[in-house]
């Protein structure tokens, strides 16, 4: 294995892994903040119980997101130093700003939230989780703006003497049209993920006969909140994804063509729900097609022309010189469909869950009960496939049209070093995954916590002997 | 002042802040087996940093990001060159961070023991390796004409760098003990102060040796002057510990660490990563920096948001200012 391949695999594994935790962190922080707001507003203890219950799951997940995130920032320099030199003038700024504006906010106010139950007033404590949630969303914007430069570089020029990209318009990079649409799409994905988790865990408790009667009301509310969040998020994903598809057709036609495995230009173009092709993916054997749909997805009109892979390849050879500009087509084709399919599946189950508890009913369907444990996984798989599509669909470029992935890798790092780090991360991440899932299941099964008796003895605070409301 | 110099100073400040803040976090972790006889005492130790460790760690993320943004060449050479030490630091930070959150999530003693081991190793390794890394940066490493590090792993493990590693490890451990003295009450506080006084001599000797060596390497007057003040601050911190003034003691060790880091950066300037092969290959504030436009944008962002961050991080320390003891630890 070459340094390039090993570095790519490591980046793929560590990034996909990191992004299992990120959407839950972003989505759950807002949902937990919502539960806590409902408690502060209504005083109904069921909301406080839900805040604490889902808050625990949120924190178990958050820890993993934080620690795997540091790897991401270091990895650009460690494994992609040539890339870092090339785009540092542009790419470093959003990363630094993300840390300064978002990570400080997130970590500091989350610390206050976790440990501050008895130290802050109700309202300030509530504000802490909202500020932390805003921090998570803010961080998403900056990192997506950085990524969008790799998809569609704007606001730059290439310095002829150094051969490096330089920033000419910061505002343009921050309002890159790819970033503006990827941000809502990603955020809706986060809410889909968190909504599905909240719904599935609560539904599981409703199915269990052991769940105490007084907790059922709380779990019913959680199923509703989770399912409605999932449905709104899915609607948002469709709308934002649709716009994204049209922007992608414009900015990266090769990626759109790869998503459909469309070799020859078509007008109008059909969208295939699935295709059985030859093993190398170059010829189709059977395909189930919806006429005109691809034209609509790509151009917004039913009979728009969609460029095929071969034509784009010819075009790029003219523009960028000889070379193979095709990404991995079967991967693009299937990850694109998987992304949509898994997301839609979560939304369908959300609809079913809402139906199953309508007008005070208890859920009875055995099939739904069987599906419940898998529901939280669907959006996670969908998110991962979406990013795998976005990133592999850009290949062979690391920065579209400017720098090839092969030219971005660190020249001074040896294959031994990369294989060592790749193995270390893979093993460590596997162990941590088992531990994390074990803890999530334990705390998800445990059900709603008992609330501590209300504090009536206000003098006990003064002598310093009162136990902390929360401690590690 | 030229913006490249402003950013050299800002990056020095970020690392200084990181080492002062996460320095005591690392120290607390290293001292877990020394001062944490039983589970309750270990929980007292961990909870002194519980609400703040994550915020402290963001300093390194911002330092890394700022280096990337302001000096891409420095970031690229440093991170790809110091590959294995940084990998070890990453692994350490991962297991340590997860350990804080997960340690209390199951009741079994074996579960807690394992996470304790992660906290200890996860604190000790970076406390040592950051010293090795910074000693190597100031000393100079083999960098070729293309700006690539060509020294391999063993080149980083030279006597000066190893002494640097031992120095940061000792300073952070002492700083952690003093911090525990400041943040706890009862037996834990008494033991922490006792440890700090005994260990203070080791830390002082190591730090003095390292700073003298640094002075001999660079012969930079201002750097030597700052080193001397750092040493005085360290001794002052120990004297304050002796008379039971925990706040002053903490200020002393914090100042000692901060000034020692500043002394290294002053010795380094205007280079950011000197080459030991040929001074012409050295990376400096001019040839490693971003364009003036990028630096201008970053300066505006930093000027607006850094005070805000300092304000709310400071507020966190105020909210959690109360000392904790074994009586403060809830059951479970």
- CA separation for the pair A190, A236 (Å, rounded): 11
List, in order, residues 6 or more apart from A225 with CB less than 8 Å away: A31, A34, A35, A195, A198, A199
Are A229 and A237 in contact by the 8 Å Cβ rule? The answer is no
Closest alpha carbon to B25 in B229, B311, B237, B317? B317
Q: Which residues of A touch B79 (CB under 8 A)?
A: 74, 76-78, 81, 84
Closest alpha carbon to B278 in B124, B150, B93? B150
Q: Which residues of B touch A68 (CB under 8 A)?
A: 94
Sign of CA dihedral B136, B138, B143, B148: positive
Burial class (CB in 10 A: 0-12, 13-18, 19+), A450: exposed
How many CA atoms, within 13 angstroms, populate the side-chain half-sphere of residue A372? 25
Whether residue A118 lies within 8 A of chain B, CB to CB, comes out as: no
Please report, in tens digits, the pLDDT of each residue of chain A (472 residues total).
799 999 999 999 999 999 999 999 999 999 999 999 999 999 999 999 999 999 999 999 999 999 999 999 999 999 999 999 999 999 999 999 999 999 999 999 999 999 999 999 999 999 999 999 999 999 999 999 999 999 999 999 999 998 899 999 999 999 999 999 999 999 999 999 999 999 999 999 999 988 888 899 999 999 999 999 999 999 999 999 999 999 999 999 999 989 888 888 888 888 887 777 665 656 667 778 888 888 888 888 888 888 889 899 999 999 999 999 999 988 998 999 999 999 999 999 999 999 999 988 888 888 999 999 999 999 999 999 999 999 999 999 999 999 999 999 999 999 999 999 999 999 999 999 999 999 999 999 999 998 877 655 544 444 456 788 888 8
Question: Could you give the residue ranges of the DSSP H alpha helices within B155-245?
Answer: 159-183, 187-218, 221-242
Place of tokens 């200890």: B120
Closest alpha carbon to B244 in B194, B187, B201? B194
Structure tokens at B43: 């929980």
- CA separation for the pair B21, B26 (Å, rounded): 9
List, in order, residues 6 or more apart from A160 with CB less than 8 Å away: none
Q: A268 preceded by cis ω (within 30°)?
A: yes
Residue B282 three-state SS: coil
Query: What separation in angstroms does the CA of A453 have from each of A17, A32, A40, A450, B14?
Result: 40, 22, 17, 9, 44
Say what the pLDDT of residue A460 is.
47
Of B72, B146, B149, the CB nearest to A88: B72
Are A101 and B305 in contact by the 8 Å Cβ rule? The answer is yes
- Give first-to-last CA distance, chain B, whole Å: 56
Say what the pLDDT of residue A277 is.
67
Whether residue B188 lies within 8 A of chain A, CB to CB, comes out as: no
Are B256 and B210 in contact by the 8 Å Cβ rule? The answer is no
Say what the pLDDT of residue A297 is.
83
Q: Which residues of A touch B67 (CB under 8 A)?
A: 92
Say what the pLDDT of residue A287 is.
77
Please report, in tens digits, the pLDDT of each residue of chain B (332 residues total).
789 999 999 999 999 999 999 999 999 999 999 999 999 999 999 999 999 999 999 999 999 999 999 999 999 999 999 999 999 999 999 999 999 999 999 999 999 999 999 999 999 999 999 999 999 999 999 999 999 999 989 999 999 999 999 999 999 999 999 999 999 999 999 999 999 999 999 999 999 999 999 999 988 899 999 999 999 999 999 999 999 999 999 999 999 999 999 999 999 999 999 999 999 999 999 999 999 999 999 999 999 999 999 999 999 999 999 999 998 888 76
For A210-274, the DSSP string reads TS-HHHHHHHHHHHHHHHHHHHHHHHHHHHHHHHHHHHHHHH-HHHHHHHHT--S-BSS--EEEE
Q: What is the pLDDT of residues B63-122, one digit of tens each?
A: 999 999 999 999 999 999 999 999 999 999 999 999 999 999 999 999 999 999 999 999
Burial class (CB in 10 A: 0-12, 13-18, 19+), B102: buried
Say what the pLDDT of residue A459 is.
47
In chain B, helix, strand, coil percent, each to 5? 80, 5, 15
A70: nearest CA partner in chain B = B61
Say what the pLDDT of residue A454 is.
64
Residues in B 297-316 with any Cβ partner in A closer than 8 A: 297-298, 301-302, 305-306, 309, 312-313, 316
List, in order, residues 6 or more apart from A277 with CB less than 8 Å away: A261, A283, A284, A285, A330
Structure tokens at A70: 């540091």
Nearest CA-CA distance, residue A79 and chain B, Å: 6
**Cα–Cα–Cα angle for A68, A70, A72, rounded to 5 degrees:** 80
Of B103, B148, B327, the CB nearest to A412: B148
Say what the pLDDT of residue B278 is.
92
Which residues face A399 on adjacent strands? A403
Q: Which residues of B touch A107 (CB under 8 A)?
A: 54-55, 57-58
Q: B154, B291, B299, B302: best mutation site toward chain A, by most A Cβ within 10 Å?
A: B291
Q: Which residues of B touch A78 (CB under 8 A)?
A: 79-80, 83, 86-87
pTM recorded for the entire structure: 0.94
Are B45 and B35 in contact by the 8 Å Cβ rule? The answer is yes
Query: Does A70 contact B60 at a Cβ distance shorter than 8 Å?
Result: yes
Are B39 and B112 in contact by the 8 Å Cβ rule? The answer is yes
Residues in A 148-187 with any Cβ partner in B closer than 8 A: 166-168, 170
Query: Does A97 contact B301 at a Cβ distance shorter than 8 Å?
Result: yes
Of A93, A107, A443, the CB nearest to B294: A93
Q: What is the ipTM of this complex?
A: 0.93
DSSP letter, residue A100: I
Say what the pLDDT of residue A209 is.
87
- CA separation for the pair A403, A401 (Å, rounded): 6
Whether residue B296 lies within 8 A of chain A, CB to CB, comes out as: no
Of B86, B298, B305, the CB nearest to A78: B86
Whether residue B40 lies within 8 A of chain A, CB to CB, comes out as: no
Closest alpha carbon to A196 in A223, A220, A219? A223
Nearest CA-CA distance, residue A287 and chain B, Å: 46
- CA separation for the pair B12, A159 (Å, rounded): 29
Query: What separation in angstroms does the CA of B310 have from each of A299, A349, B17, B251, B313?
Result: 49, 46, 10, 17, 5
Residues in B 232-251 with any Cβ partner in A closer than 8 A: none
Whether residue B150 lies within 8 A of chain A, CB to CB, comes out as: yes
How many CA atoms, within 13 angstroms, populate the side-chain half-sphere of residue B140? 20
Say what the pLDDT of residue A364 is.
86
How many CA atoms, within 13 angstroms, populate the side-chain half-sphere of residue A146? 24
Sign of CA dihedral A102, A18, A403, A281: negative
Which residues face A234 on adjacent strands? none
Q: Which residues of B touch A79 (CB under 8 A)?
A: 80
B105: nearest CA partner in chain A = A439
Q: Which residues of A touch B93 (CB under 8 A)?
A: 67, 70
List, in order, residues 6 or more apart from A413 with CB less than 8 Å away: A3, A7, A78, A79, A81, B80, B83
- Plot region of A300 (φ>0 → left; ψ -120 to 50 → alpha; else → beta): left
List, in order, residues 6 or more apart from B55 with CB less than 8 Å away: A104, A107, A108, A111, B313, B316
Query: Does A73 contact B64 at a Cβ distance shorter than 8 Å?
Result: yes
Query: Does A167 contact B294 at a Cβ distance shorter than 8 Å?
Result: yes
- CA separation for the pair A252, A388 (Å, rounded): 15
Residue A345 three-state SS: helix
Say what the pLDDT of residue B39 is.
93
- CA separation for the pair B224, B247 (Å, rounded): 27
Say what the pLDDT of residue A274 is.
75
Whether residue A423 lies within 8 A of chain B, CB to CB, comes out as: no
Query: Does A467 contact B328 at a Cβ distance shorter than 8 Å?
Result: yes
- Give the H or E element holding residue B273: strand B271-273
Query: How many C-beta atoms surround the C-beta of residue A377 within 10 A?
Result: 16
Are B148 and B81 in contact by the 8 Å Cβ rule? The answer is yes
């Amino acid at each position: 294995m070459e340094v390039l391949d090993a570095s790519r695999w490591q980046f793929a594994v560590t990034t996909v892994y990191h992004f299992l935790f990120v959407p839950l962190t972003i989505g759950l922080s807002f949902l937990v903040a919502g539960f806590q707001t409902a408690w502060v507003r209504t005083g109904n203890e069921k909301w406080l119980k839900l805040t604490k219950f889902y808050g625990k799951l949120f924190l178990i997940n958050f820890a993993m997101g934080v620690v795997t995130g540091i790897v991401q920032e270091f990895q650009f320099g460690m494994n992609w130093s040539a890339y870092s030199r090339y785009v540092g003038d542009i790419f470093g700024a959003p990363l630094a700003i993300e840390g300064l504006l978002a990570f400080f906010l997130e970590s500091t106010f989350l610390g206050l939230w976790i440990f501050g139950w008895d130290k802050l007033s109700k309202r300030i404590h509530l504000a802490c989780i909202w500020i932390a949630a805003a921090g998570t969303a803010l961080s998403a914007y900056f990192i997506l703006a950085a990524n969008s430069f790799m998809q569609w570089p704007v606001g730059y020029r290439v310095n002829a003497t150094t051969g490096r990209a330089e920033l000419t318009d910061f505002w343009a990079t921050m309002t890159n049209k790819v970033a503006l649409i990827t941000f809502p799409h990603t955020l809706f994905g986060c809410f889909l993920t968190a909504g599905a988790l909240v719904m599935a865990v609560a539904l599981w408790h409703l199915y269990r006969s052991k769940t105490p009667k007084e907790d059922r009301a709380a779990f019913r509310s959680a199923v509703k909140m989770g399912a409605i969040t999932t449905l709104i998020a899915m609607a948002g994903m469709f709308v934002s994804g649709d716009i994204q598809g049209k922007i992608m057709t414009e900015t990266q036609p090769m990626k759109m063509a790869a998503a459909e495995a469309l070799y020859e230009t078509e007008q109008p173009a059909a969208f295939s729900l699935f295709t059985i092709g030859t093993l190398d993916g170059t010829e189709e054997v059977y395909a189930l097609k919806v006429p005109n749909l691809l034209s609509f997805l790509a151009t917004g009109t039913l009979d728009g022309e969609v460029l095929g892979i071969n034509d784009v390849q010819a075009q790029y050879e003219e523009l960028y010189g000889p070379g193979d500009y095709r990404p991995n087509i079967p991967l693009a084709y299937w990850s694109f469909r998987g992304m949509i399919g898994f997301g839609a599946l979560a939304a369908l189950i959300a609809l079913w869950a809402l139906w199953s508890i309508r007008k005070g009913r208890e859920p009875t369907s055995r099939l739904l009960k069987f599906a419940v444990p898998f529901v939280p996984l669907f959006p996670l798989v969908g998110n991962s496939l979406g990013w795998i599509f976005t990133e592999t669909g850009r290949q062979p470029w690391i920065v579209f049209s400017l720098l090839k992935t092969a030219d971005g890798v660190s020249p001074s790092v040896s294959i031994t070093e990369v294989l060592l780090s790749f193995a270390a991360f893979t093993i460590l991440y596997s162990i941590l995954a088992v531990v994390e899932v074990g803890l999530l299941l334990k705390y998800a099964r445990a059900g709603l916590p008992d609330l501590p008796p209300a504090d009536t003895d206000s003098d006990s605070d003064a002598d310093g002997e009162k136990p902390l409301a929360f401690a590690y | 002042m030229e913006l490249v110099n402003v950013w050299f100073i800002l990056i020095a400040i970020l690392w200084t802040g990181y080492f002062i803040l996460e320095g005591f976090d690392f120290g607390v972790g290293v001292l877990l087996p020394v001062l944490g006889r039983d589970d309750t005492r270990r929980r007292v130790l961990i909870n002194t940093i519980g609400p703040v460790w994550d915020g402290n760690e963001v300093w390194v993320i911002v330092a890394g990001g700022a280096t990337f943004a302001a000096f891409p060449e420095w970031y690229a050479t440093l991170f790809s060159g110091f590959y294995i030490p940084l990998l070890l630091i990453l692994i350490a930070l991962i297991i340590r961070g997860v350990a804080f959150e997960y340690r209390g999530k199951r009741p079994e003693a074996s579960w807690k023991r394992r996470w304790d081991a992660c906290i200890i190793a996860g604190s000790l390794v970076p406390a040592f390796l950051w010293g090795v890394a910074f000693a190597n940066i100031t000393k100079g490493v083999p960098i070729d004409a293309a700006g690539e590090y060509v020294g391999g792993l063993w080149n980083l493990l030279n006597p000066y760098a190893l002494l640097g590693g031992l120095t940061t490890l000792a300073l952070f451990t002492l700083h952690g003990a003093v911090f525990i003295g400041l943040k706890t009450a009862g037996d834990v506080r008494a033991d922490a102060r006792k440890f700090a006084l005994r260990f203070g001599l080791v830390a002082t000797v190591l730090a003095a040796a390292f700073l003298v060596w640094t002075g001999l390497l660079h012969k930079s007057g201002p750097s030597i002057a700052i080193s001397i003040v750092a040493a005085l601050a360290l001794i002052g911190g120990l004297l304050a510990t002796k008379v039971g003034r925990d706040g002053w003691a903490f200020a002393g060790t914090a100042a000692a660490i901060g000034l020692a880091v500043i002394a290294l950066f002053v010795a380094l300037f205007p280079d950011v990563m000197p080459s030991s092969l040929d001074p012409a290959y050295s990376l400096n504030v001019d040839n490693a920096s971003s364009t003036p436009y990028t630096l201008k944008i970053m300066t505006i962002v930093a000027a607006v948001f850094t005070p805000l961050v300092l304000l709310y991080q400071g507020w966190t320390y105020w909210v959690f200012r109360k000392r904790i003891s074994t009586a403060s630890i809830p059951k479970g």
